[in-house]
Amino acid sequence: MKARIIFAVAALAGLWAVQGAVAADDGFRAGAAKTNITPPLGLPLVGEWNNPLGSYVRHELFARCLVFDNGKTHVAFVVCDLLGVSRALSDEARRLAEEQTGIPASHILVSATHTHSASSAMGNNRLELNEPLDDYSRFVARRVADAVACAVYTLRPARIGWTSAQEPRHVFCRRWFMKPGTVPKNPFGSKDDLVKMNPGRQNPGLDKPAGPVDPEIFILAAQTPEGQPIGMLANYSLHYVGGTVRGEITADYYGLYNDRIQELLGVDRQEPPFVSIMSNGTSGNINNIDFSQPAEKLPPYGKMRIVAEDVAQAVFAAYQKIEWREQIEIGASFEEITLAMRRPTPEHLEMAKGILAKMEPGKKATSLPEIYAERALMCSSFPPEWKFPMQAFRVGDVGITAIPCEVFSETGLDIKANSPLKPAFTVSLAHGYFGYLPTPEQHKLGGYETWLGTSRLEVEAEPKIRQALLGMLERLRSVSE
Q: Is 245 exposed, middle or buried, given 0-12, 13-18 or 19+ CB atoms closer than 10 A?
A: middle
pLDDT digits (tens, 9 = 90+) for 195-212: 999 999 999 999 999 999
CA dihedral 68, 430, 80, 39 (to 10 degrees): 140
Q: What one-character DSSP code corresponds to residue 449? A: G
Cβ within 8 Å of residue 361, ≥6 positions away: none
pLDDT digits (tens, 9 = 90+) for 391-411: 999 999 999 999 999 999 999
3-state class (DSSP) for residue 467: helix
3-state class (DSSP) for residue 28: coil
- pTM higher than the cut 0.85: yes
Please state the φ and ψ torsions of residue 230, each to the nearest 5 degrees: -105, -50
3-state class (DSSP) for residue 442: helix
Would you give the distance in Å from CA 473 to the centre of its chain?
Answer: 19
Q: Is 472 exposed, middle or buried, given 0-12, 13-18 or 19+ CB atoms closer than 10 A?
A: buried
pLDDT tens by residue, the chain, 481 residues: 333 333 333 333 233 333 332 233 578 999 999 999 999 999 999 987 688 999 999 999 999 999 999 999 999 999 999 999 999 999 999 999 999 999 999 999 999 999 999 999 998 777 778 888 999 999 999 999 999 999 999 999 999 999 999 999 999 999 999 999 999 999 988 888 999 999 999 999 999 999 999 999 999 999 999 999 999 999 999 999 999 999 999 999 999 999 999 999 999 889 999 999 999 999 999 999 999 999 999 999 999 999 999 999 999 999 999 999 999 999 999 999 999 999 999 999 999 999 999 998 888 888 999 999 999 999 999 999 999 999 999 999 999 999 999 999 999 999 999 999 999 999 999 999 999 999 999 999 999 999 999 999 999 999 999 999 999 999 999 875 5
pLDDT at position 10 is 34
What is the 3 state secondary structure string of 390-440?
EEEEEECCEEEEECCCEECHHHHHHHHHHCCCCCEEEECCECCCCEEECCH
